[in-house]
Structure 1
Amino acid sequence: MSQEQEQPAPASQPDQPSPTFDPSRMIGIIKRKALIKELAAVYHAECLAYCQELLELQKKWDEPFIHVTSPDDTRKEKTRPPKRLKKSR
């Protein structure tokens, strides 16, 4: 016979008492829970900071396009009066 057939499954043994309450395990669970909450708060704050930075960068990216003049306006600005006027006869 193999070992699996010799030993019955633990769930099928109603004789075994359930594990006793261990307060030291609860303290560890509470500490881990507090650490997870702290980590989540730090992560949330970091995400908000990155979102704010991204929003500012997007605003800066859009700024140059707001004040751009049309190509016609740039041509008009480039034309200058001649330095020497032609003599009229």
Structure 2
Amino acid sequence: MVVTEESLDGVNFKLVSSAYQNTISKVQAMSQERQQPSPAPASQPDHPPPPPPFDPSRMIGIIKRKALIKELAAVYHAECLAYCQELLELQRKWDEPFIDVKTPDDLRKEKMRPPKRLKKSR
């Protein structure tokens, strides 16, 4: 296994094998094309310009932004869970005085009490 270091636009890349040498040379060629302005054809002004070539140095910023978004989402999620827990506790405290808790013995006594008026049988 061959490990080499390449520098492209001030960014160092460690290459694990020689198979990536071809890819690096293509990326370097693309970055050189990007730096050299090409004359725009005046005969086709209606067509949009081609997309810019791939720039690996932009990936660092994209990865950092993605990590920041994930971190912010985790903080927001934790804050939402804390608010939900607090709301649930407040709801329980609010409902507590209104709950009429009866023991099973009290329920049996109510069922065993005879009615005040007896029904007439025909």
Q: TM-score, normalised by structure 2?
A: 0.42
**CA offset at residue 39 of structure 1?**
0.6
Q: Deviations over 1:11-70 (max 9, x none)?
A: 2xxxx6642221221110110011011111111111000000000000000011125xxx
The 4+ residue runs of structure 1 with deviation greater than 4 A are none
> Which residue of structure 1 lines up, in the alignment, with residue 46 of structure 2?
9
Partner letter of residue 49 of structure 1? Answer: A
Structure 2 residue identity aligned to 1:32: R
Task: Determine which structure has the larger strand proportion and give its number.
Answer: 2
| 1:49 corresponding residue in structure 2 | 82
Residue number in structure 2 paired with 1:29? 62
Identity %: 84
Measured in 2, the distance between the counterparts of 1:8 and 1:61 equals 70
Q: RMSD value over aligned CA atoms?
A: 2.5
Tell me the amino acid that sits aligned with residue 23 of structure 1. Answer: P
What 5-or-longer segments of structure 1 have no aligned partner?
A: 1-5, 68-89
Partner of 1:38: 71
**Equivalents in 2 of 1:10, 1:43: separation in Å?**
44
1:9 CA drift (Å): 2.8
Which of 1 and 2 has higher RCO (CA within 8 Å, sep 6+)? 2
Number of residue equivalences: 59
Q: TM-score, normalised by structure 1?
A: 0.56
